[in-house]
Chains A and B, each alone.
Chain A
């Protein structure tokens, strides 16, 4: 897509989604779009560290969960929700720095294994320490407005997409992609790999922390361990791969497709949707490694030739 078209299409989509709640007064539609927007943000955040910098994070849920936990705790204690979300982003990024500084010195699978372990340790710990369901106080429930959650999700998704668009065409983004392709060759070309990998991780996890905060703001009641569940990681991974890993539009297309299909399958074939997504993931990796973004590009090239 050309830059000029992006500059028009992006804001136009956001504007359209912004007036939608005024026209469509149906909670199910807003809830569905909320889930799509939350998924865009989380998948896009995973895309930064895994898609651009090439460091596969298998414990992304840990950072989503930390954002949720921090925001919920602070917000329940009377802190404004936006301040709570900012704090959640900071906590998530600090945790990421600790694990990243240790794991990034080693090559290969250490980072993937380390983040996977971190995610599970946090999930089990939170599940044991905070076993009670977290429910909003009655006064907050009385004043609950779905539209507020929707607009916050829209703003956050727009920030996530914009951040990746800016990063992707920047010097830093190019350095990250060079590391993804060949870390030794990148180092030999002057790219300081450790610093850039940490930067990608901090950006990625801070965004995941914000998404977690949004989750805590949205749900009236949930188990505190739920946002630490590995399915948040694998949702992000699937969405990014289905849409197109390492691209700006991939997680957007992927989230729309994935959330729609998931909700549809959850109604039709309750327990089969994981099986279907597993097969879909394998098919995409083997047949269409560029995801939906590549499919669209191929289709365009085909229609132009015809």
Chain B
């Protein structure tokens, strides 16, 4: 049984690439492979020509790949500031503690959590917890940031503000790879989409071209053969 096989693609520095595909198509598995949470049986994962395949997640993070989780996973017993400090003190940019606090505060402000540094995650709303997780990931100074369904569970207004936030982060020079089910948001944010189906890449290109791709339409809407089964 293969969750992901023969998926090859490259992401340029500063690019924002969207990953989509039906449930079970292997999007989260792909992220787990890149972030080191899963070890690939074959193939390579390269960041600036260094092969990271099979490395432990904390080593992958130290090389410059950070992630957020599909269901937010903040450190529940630590304040928002301490959550971000963990990323700052252990990620790629491990600095002195004194400078780290200032940087963590800057990142909290960047994601829109100013004034909430001393709150526990339980006292934050869902969108704020997502903002916190984003700040923690950014604190590790990633070259590549993996966002796993960052907008899931948000209302339309929150989705808009999350999109603005993602644009701001791209503006900071971070390369982004994002899995998203909210297709319109993904179409709007990215200039390039990759579509997975049953663990294989079936499309890779500009959003308009991908949306018009017959194979993609079949996978999403069900073709003549698939419709009866899906219904």
Task: Tell me if A189 is interfacial: C-beta within 8 Å of chain B.
Answer: yes
Task: Tell me if B85 is interfacial: C-beta within 8 Å of chain A.
Answer: yes
Q: Is the pair A188, B85 in contact by a Cβ cutoff of 8 Å?
A: no
The proximity string for A residues 235-246 relative to B, scoring 1 for CB distances below 8 Å and 0 otherwise, is 000000000001
Docked CA distance A113–B169 (Å): 45
Q: Is the pair A177, B89 in contact by a Cβ cutoff of 8 Å?
A: no
Q: Is the pair B86, A189 in contact by a Cβ cutoff of 8 Å?
A: yes
Least CB distance, B170 to chain A, in whole angstroms: 21
Task: Tell me if A180 is interfacial: C-beta within 8 Å of chain B.
Answer: yes
Contacts of A187 in B (CB 8 A): 36-37, 56-58, 61
Q: Is the pair A181, B77 in contact by a Cβ cutoff of 8 Å?
A: yes
Contacts of A178 in B (CB 8 A): 75, 78, 86, 90
Q: Is the pair A189, B37 in contact by a Cβ cutoff of 8 Å?
A: no
Task: Tell me if A186 is interfacial: C-beta within 8 Å of chain B.
Answer: yes
Contacts of B85 in A (CB 8 A): 174
The proximity string for B residues 33-72 relative to A, scoring 1 for CB distances below 8 Å and 0 otherwise, is 0011100000000000000000011110110001101000
The proximity string for A residues 86-98 relative to B, scoring 1 for CB distances below 8 Å and 0 otherwise, is 0000000000000
The proximity string for B residues 114-153 relative to A, scoring 1 for CB distances below 8 Å and 0 otherwise, is 0000000000000000000000110110000000000000
Docked CA distance A178–B86 (Å): 7
Task: Tell me if A132 is interfacial: C-beta within 8 Å of chain B.
Answer: no
Q: Is the pair A189, B77 in contact by a Cβ cutoff of 8 Å?
A: no
| Inter-chain CB contacts under 8 Å: number | 84
Q: Is the pair B75, A185 in contact by a Cβ cutoff of 8 Å?
A: yes
For B, the interface residue count at a CB cutoff of 8 angstroms equals 32
Docked CA distance A175–B140 (Å): 13
Docked CA distance A6–B140 (Å): 32
Task: Tell me if B92 is interfacial: C-beta within 8 Å of chain A.
Answer: yes
Which of A171, A180, A192 contacts B56 (CB under 8 A)? A192
Q: Which residue of B lies closest to A189 (CB)?
A: B87
Contacts of A188 in B (CB 8 A): 35, 37, 57-58, 61, 66-67, 69, 137
The proximity string for A residues 161-202 relative to B, scoring 1 for CB distances below 8 Å and 0 otherwise, is 000000000010011011011101111111111000000000
Docked CA distance A21–B82 (Å): 43
Q: Which residue of A lies closest to B65 (CB)?
A: A188
Q: Is the pair A189, B90 in contact by a Cβ cutoff of 8 Å?
A: yes
Q: Is the pair B56, A181 in contact by a Cβ cutoff of 8 Å?
A: no
Docked CA distance A98–B85 (Å): 32
Q: Which residue of A lies closest to B94 (CB)?
A: A190
Q: Is the pair A181, B58 in contact by a Cβ cutoff of 8 Å?
A: no
Contacts of A180 in B (CB 8 A): 77
Which of B62, B75, B91 contacts A181 (CB under 8 A)? B75
Q: Is the pair B86, A186 in contact by a Cβ cutoff of 8 Å?
A: yes
Q: Is the pair B73, A185 in contact by a Cβ cutoff of 8 Å?
A: yes
Given contacts A171-B97, A175-B86, A184-B37, contact A190 B61 (CB under 8 A): yes
Docked CA distance A181–B83 (Å): 10
Task: Tell me if B76 is interfacial: C-beta within 8 Å of chain A.
Answer: yes
Least CB distance, A150 to chain B, in whole angstroms: 36
Docked CA distance A184–B73 (Å): 9
B→A interface (CB under 8 Å): 35-37, 56-59, 61-62, 66-67, 69, 73-78, 82, 85-87, 89-92, 94, 97, 136-137, 139-140
4 A-B pairs closest in CB distance? A190-B90, A181-B75, A187-B57, A190-B91
| A–B pairs, 26, beta carbons within 8 Å | A171-B90, A174-B89, A175-B90, A177-B75, A177-B78, A177-B82, A178-B78, A178-B86, A180-B77, A182-B73, A182-B76, A184-B57, A184-B73, A185-B74, A186-B58, A187-B56, A188-B37, A188-B67, A188-B69, A188-B137, A189-B61, A189-B90, A190-B87, A191-B58, A192-B90, A193-B58
A181-B76, A189-B58, A190-B58 known; 8 new pairs, CB 8 Å cut-off, are: A171-B90, A178-B75, A178-B78, A182-B74, A187-B58, A189-B139, A190-B92, A193-B58
